[in-house]
Amino acid sequence: MAGLIANTDLLQQILTGFVRDEVRKVGVKKVVLGLSGGIDSALVAFIAAQALGAENVHAICMPYKSSNPESEAHARLVAQACGINFTVVPITPMVDAYFEMFPQADNMRRGNKMARERMTILFDHSALYSALVLGTSNKTELLLGYGTLFGDMASALNPIGDLYKSHVWQLSEAMGVPSEVIEKKPSADLWAGQTDEEELGFSYRQVDELLYQMVDLRLTRDELIAAGFAPEFIDSIYQKVQNSHFKRRMPVIAKVSNRTIDRDFRYSRDWGK
């Protein structure tokens, strides 16, 4: 699919320019990001290092005791490859202390708690370093809602939120992300052996094709079926996009005045910048 093949030189130029411009106009020089050992955060680290200089990028690896040790090793490898600052802050003590009160909690609650624990650490370091938090969610997971609201979806700036996973692979290769990180199976690493594609029930390549044609090209359901997508697949993905839309919006405010925030009180975030 031609649309999922990106001009990586152009992407790199736009995304490094984005980080440089949007960070500096706020009056800061630095960024902080969570480095998981996966490809998305690795790519953001490379983009940030190129945009701001490696010395201005702080990566934090935040493993839980059940995290695959390979993840931390890969995070370290990425940090070394692009020369950025690297710290490890384990989240096991905080997360375990909490779930001692709720021992029955299921995997989803535990996963969400971990994602939100990491978010608080990133925003705390944002204050420590006078740095903006970079987001690392790609367009595929944002559209599917495959992320934790106010957890890994929280950030000040997200350079890769308009890139499908297929684009992330291409750009990572072009920018020199270590091949171990590019080639391994994507995983949220919430429990041993977890992989995204197994949990989602389809491959990123399949869903990227569908999302691109459905969202970007606005093909109708009939056109998608004619293009060879199974009706059940189309419907289930459409449902996922619809049901997760709340995660992509600001909290809903009950309107009572003439100027309600975001409804008829409208300003760009870069107001005055």
Partner 1 sequence: MDFTAILAQIKPKLGCVADNLALIEEHIQQAISAKADLIVFPELALTGYFLKDLVPEVARRLDSPEISRLVELSRNISIAVGIVEETDDYRFFNSALYLEDGAIRHLHRKVYLPTYGLFDEQRYLARGERFRAFDTRFGRMALLICEDMWHLSSSYILAMDGATTLLCLSSSPGRGVEGDSLGSAAAWQQLTSTTALFLNCRVLYCNRVGYEDGVNFWGGSEYVAPSGESIVRARLFDEDALAASVAEGALRRERIFSPMLRDENLFVTMQELRRIERERGQ
Binding residues for partner 1, rule: CB under 8 A, are 2-3, 5-7, 10-11, 13-14, 17-18, 21-22, 25, 157, 265-273
**Considering beta carbons, is residue 9 or 183 the nearer one to partner 1?**
9
- Closest distance to partner 1 from the beta carbon of 47 (Å): 14
- Closest distance to partner 1 from the beta carbon of 171 (Å): 10
**Considering beta carbons, is residue 88 or 261 the nearer one to partner 1?**
261
- Closest distance to partner 1 from the beta carbon of 81 (Å): 24
**Considering beta carbons, is residue 109 or 273 the nearer one to partner 1?**
273
Please state whether beta strands 131-133 and 85-88 pair in parallel, antiparallel, or not at all (unpaired).
unpaired
Contact 151, 120 (CB under 8 A): no
**Considering beta carbons, is residue 82 or 157 the nearer one to partner 1?**
157
Contact 45, 159 (CB under 8 A): no
- Closest distance to partner 1 from the beta carbon of 18 (Å): 6
Contact 70, 189 (CB under 8 A): no
Contact 187, 196 (CB under 8 A): yes
Q: Residue 112 has which token pair?
A: 């969400």
**Considering beta carbons, is residue 24 or 65 the nearer one to partner 1?**
24
Q: Residue 63 has which token pair?
A: 């493993």
**Considering beta carbons, is residue 164 or 204 the nearer one to partner 1?**
164
- Closest distance to partner 1 from the beta carbon of 157 (Å): 8
- Closest distance to partner 1 from the beta carbon of 188 (Å): 25
Residues in contact with 202: Cβ distance below 8 Å, sequence separation at least 6, in sequence order: 233
**Considering beta carbons, is residue 79 or 210 the nearer one to partner 1?**
210
Place of tokens 């680290």: 45
Contact 63, 40 (CB under 8 A): no
**Considering beta carbons, is residue 11 or 33 the nearer one to partner 1?**
11
- Closest distance to partner 1 from the beta carbon of 243 (Å): 25
Residues in contact with 137: Cβ distance below 8 Å, sequence separation at least 6, in sequence order: 40, 147, 152, 153, 155, 158, 160, 161
- Closest distance to partner 1 from the beta carbon of 266 (Å): 4
